[in-house]
Each structure stands twice: as C-alpha cells, then as structure tokens.
Structure 1
Amino acid sequence: MSNSFVKFDGVQKTYDGEHLVVRDLNLEVKRGEFLTLLGPSGSGKTTTLMMLAGFETATHGEIYLDGKPINRLAPEHREIGMVFQSYALFPHMTVEENIAFPLTARRVSRTEIRDRVARALDMVGLSRFAQRRPAQMSGGQQQRVAVARALVFEPKLVLMDEPLSALDKQLREQMKFEIKRLHDELGITIVYVTHDQSEALTMSDRVAVFNDGRIAQLDTPAGLYERPADPFVAHFIGENNRLYGEIVSLEDSHCTVNCNGTLIRALPVGVRNVGEKTMLSLRPERVSLGLPADRQENTVNVQIRQLIYLGDHIRLRASTCGTDDFIIKIPNSATWQSALKEEQVISIGWRAEDCRALPHADGAAI
C-alpha cells in the first residue's frame, strides 16, 4: 500500500454494463493536496468524485482513503465534506443552523457546536449573517455557507463539485481565491471538479485532465500548459495554434516538420518515425513579431485576416502554413496599433522549444 491519502486502484464505472464512464482509473492524491479533476461534460470527472463521496459505487476496483478501503462504506461514515454546485442549503434553517447541521447529526455537544460554528463563520467572513436564511443572501454568500458547513466538522477530505459555476464572473474570481486561501491556511485535502480551465490552473497543486473516462494527463498547472502530452490536452488547456504536417527528420531532441511546404523545427512528443503525421501545438503568446521574429529558429510570413482589440493585448488572426486561423497575441502598444493593418503580410517567428509535435493519426482537425 502506498502512502497516498486517496487512492483509486483500477477503478471502473458503468451504468449499463457496456459503456464505461470511468475506465481503469489509477489515481493517487497526496495529503494536503489541492487536486482538480478537469474535463468536458461526460468525461468521467464528476462520476469519479461521486464514487469517492460514496454516492456512486465502483463497478470494479477499489478506492482507499487514508489507507483504508471505502467502497462498502456509507457516505456518512467516510468523514468527507462536500460542497455541491447547487449549495444544497436547507432553506428553512438559518445560516448558523445550516453550518451546525453536520455537528448536530454527529451528536456533538451544544457548547462545542456553538464554538465550532462561530469559528467557521469567522473563517468565511459571515459572522454577522448567522441568523439570516439562505434566501436572504447572495449567491456568493450562500457558497461561503456551503464551504463553512463542509469544513465545520473537520473532515479528512473536502470534495467540491463545480462549486462556482452558478456565480457571476466577479464572484467566481473572488471565491476562487477564498477557497484557495482556506486550503492553504487549513492544510486540508481538496478534490475539486470543474470544466473551467481557469479555475483549475489558478487553484490547483495538480490537475487531472479527463477525456472519455480516462486521465489524459496528470500534472501541475504549468506542466499542462507548457508541456501538453497529447492533442486533446493541448486543445483543452488554454488556447493554441494547431498546424498539421509530416515528420521529415528526427535528430537529437528536435524534429523537422513539413507543414504545407514550410519546414518547422519542433520538440517531438510521442512521435517517433520519419513520415509520421503530426499536429504542431504552439501558444499564441509565444509568437514574436518584427525584429525579434528574425532571431527565432522558425520564421514564416503570415497575412493578417483580422485585428481584434482586447484592451491589454491585440489578437491577430492570420493565414499561414495551410490555415486561416493562426492566432497571435501581442501586448497592446501605440506602435503595434499604428503598424498593423488587415491584409498586411508580416514576418513572425517562434522558438522550436515552444512548438510541440504531437501524434495525430490523420491530420484532421480535432
């Protein structure tokens, strides 16, 4: 047995006996870690969380918590805190009563309940709202109550299922940092589910990217963004340019790819043979214009199709290497605003280290 705090060992889940929603999941979560399960709808991330919580049963394999198997343990006996997307607060109870509920259910003494609830309210900044009911509070305040209720009984583990999806953008940003602050201050273990890559990248110690019931890549936020392991991760995490071509040479740690007649140097990731089809992944912010472009390993001409002003940066959509949707992001400046025009042909460049050649069977768009 490993020293992991949470462990999925060969876990599978099917609802109909044929289609696997979760396929041979092997995943370990460290004590005190903030791990996010990220992926599109139907990828298996929420089912994984529900199996850990005990609301779904694994079809095959075993789940361990703190070294003990929990597959046959009822949810209420797992000592896991849960924050739901819908908050799931009791409308007829006050904030204080909602937060106290897990302690009341565990027959904790009234004195201890009062002290713990007071600490929990203070922790989420809601001490003066103790006697209000959920309907009298904003969405962000209700979410804080749900977080306090999940933490008040000092659980071994806290699970969060898309807890910010019902909030507006400003509240989401605020709550992201509040949840991360609590994680850092309390040292609790959090497993968090979202389809929002921004939440995953800004809050997590590690992120498990799910695709079709499997983990496509498990890495730090920087690792996922800078070093995607396959085309799905490259496409799902952040924005990237995708160029399709064929490997024409492999040498040392680099390869050369023929993209619609243009030779491009890149880092090979999972491609092993000359003649193999590949998808090049390149982040828009890694592209240089003007004099810096001439100093890069890869230099190509592009024709600007569209200029989009986005405040802090300018977004260019251009044609090159067989695509009309090559994106370039550059910092906003008076120089660039006056120098760039639609239909203009300009030179751009990028480092080979910023361009990854990934396996791609047929060269078609994903």
Structure 2
Amino acid sequence: MQINQVYIFSVAPMMDWTDRHCRMFHRALSDQALLWTEMVTADAVIHGDRERLIGYSAAEHPVVLQLGGSDPEKLAEASRIAEDFGYDEVNINCGCPSDRVQSGRFGACLMQEPETVAASVAAMQKVVSIPVTVKCRVAVDEDPPRETLFGFVDTVADAGCEVFTVHARKAWLSGLSPKENRTVPPLDYGLVAELKAERPGLAIILNGGIKTMSEAADHLKTFDGVMLGRAAYQTPALLAHADQLIETGEGRDEVDMAACLAALERYRPYMAEQVAGGTKLSSMTRHMLGLFAGQPGARAWRRVLSEKAVKPGAGLDVLDEALAQVAPEAALA
C-alpha cells in the first residue's frame, strides 16, 4: 500500500484527556497532526447522546474516532454513524488494559481474540468507505510477544486492515493498574521494527514512551508514523513542531514561544464561543497547563489557570492574567 502522510504524526487517544476541547487546542498548535478521540464504546455511539459523545468541530480534521467493542455488528453500526458524522477514520481499541474494558470484552484482551477483531474489521469495512484501523499492544500477560503480535496482525490484516498502531509494551490484565500499564512493562521497539520489516505492505505506527520530537524523528526512519500520548498532553508546546516533522522529518524540541502564543490566539475565538455557550472555562484551560513547561513564569501560569478558571463565571480575562505571567508583552497587546 502507499502510506498516507496523515499517519506520520498523531496524538494518542487518552481517556478523560483528549476530549473535543483538548483536540481543538492541539489543532491550534498543529494543522496536520492526526487527532484521536477518547475511546467510545460502540453501544454508546449507537444508543447514547451522539452529539455529546462524538460531536466535534470541523476544524479538528483529520480526526479519528476510536471505538471499543467486540461485536462485529455493533462495531459496524457505530462505524456507519461515525462516517455519517464526518470522521476521517474509525479505529478498534485492542490495547486498553483497564478493568472496565476487560469486563466489556474489548481493549487489550482482544489481543487474545484475533479472529473476533478480524470479523469486526470485515463487518466495518462492508458499511464504510473511511479507513478501519486497529491499535494494539505487543501481547497480553504471559503470551509470547513475537508469536502473539505477528499472529494477531496477520489475522487482522487478512480481513483487510492495513494500518496498525502498536503500543510497544505488553499489557498486564492482572497485577498492574492502567496507569502502571503505561509505564511499567518494558518497551520493545525492536519487536515492532521487526514487524514493519517483515510486513512492509502494512502501515505500522509506533506508540509508547516517545517523549520528544527528536525521538519521533529518529523513529520515523523505521516506522510509517509515530504516536505521542502523555508527552503531547503534558508538554503540548512540542506540537508546534509537528507540522515541520511531518513535512521535513526534522524533529525540534525547543519551546517556540512565538508559536505557542500564536496558538493561543487561534484557540481564543473557540474558547470565547464555548464560554458564551455555557462551557466552563476550566474545561478548556485544564488542557493548557503544561504549555509553557520549563519556561519563566510557567508555575504562575499554571497557578492562575488552576485557581481562577474553575470559578463560576470565569472568562477570558483569566487567560489574559495567566498569560501576563509568561508573556507580559503579549497580554498587553
């Protein structure tokens, strides 16, 4: 297959983090990064409040809806709804290790049911024209990583899936919390590199432990794309370099203050519209706390937003007050 440039850099789906306000903030920093929703179950998409659960702003494109589920018919129906909503891609979550996910028989436990995932991919592809992709781990619990990963990918690829985002760790379904599962199991980039080398026709996107854009650039020498999660959320200034990474392969790590300030200006009209519509200011500012991490005034920026954005009636004057802590000249402009 010809690898689509859209997969070069993406921001991971993160529960309670990558909501629509977060994605719009990230889009203000990068025009081209592929953004992902939080995981939403197929049942919720079919039966729930769709605008609340999967509504998004047109400016977010390209954007992926990640689905949780193991019933091919339900996943197919949720995919059809996603396409009708205008999503650019639907993805099956085969990597999340939480207890809630296990009890619903989706997420990482599906690594042990490749035939179920294959059947789901086939059913979804029958009803949508947008890409159907899979995000997975390398293995689960005591399962052998190479045999598990290659067997899983081959079975699902035979059903028509061409794009796999691989979190390069095992998932331990017992003994580790979801938080620990993101850091404790050792990374195995080499195994995922072997998968790419031996399955060159598939798009393989690397996820897990990538902290900087220079690291991302290095991994792009091996993989078709990289996905950043916690680093992109906790230090969002790095996203200001995402477009350059996508276009040139160059990874820059320094904080570009001018780009960050410009992103806030881009985000500001959205914030104003949301506040006017009744959205709490803190629903947006909570995603911005790490923007100036490591810069003079960063602690004061976080303090102002954390303490004042949560107050009833808080408006964009709070943003201006916080901005004055890190860039007084911008706040006065």
Instruction: Return the TM-score normalized by structure 1.
Output: 0.34
Instruction: Name the one with the larger helix percent.
Output: 2
Instruction: Name the one with the larger strand percent.
Output: 1
Instruction: Return the TM-score normalized by structure 2.
Output: 0.36
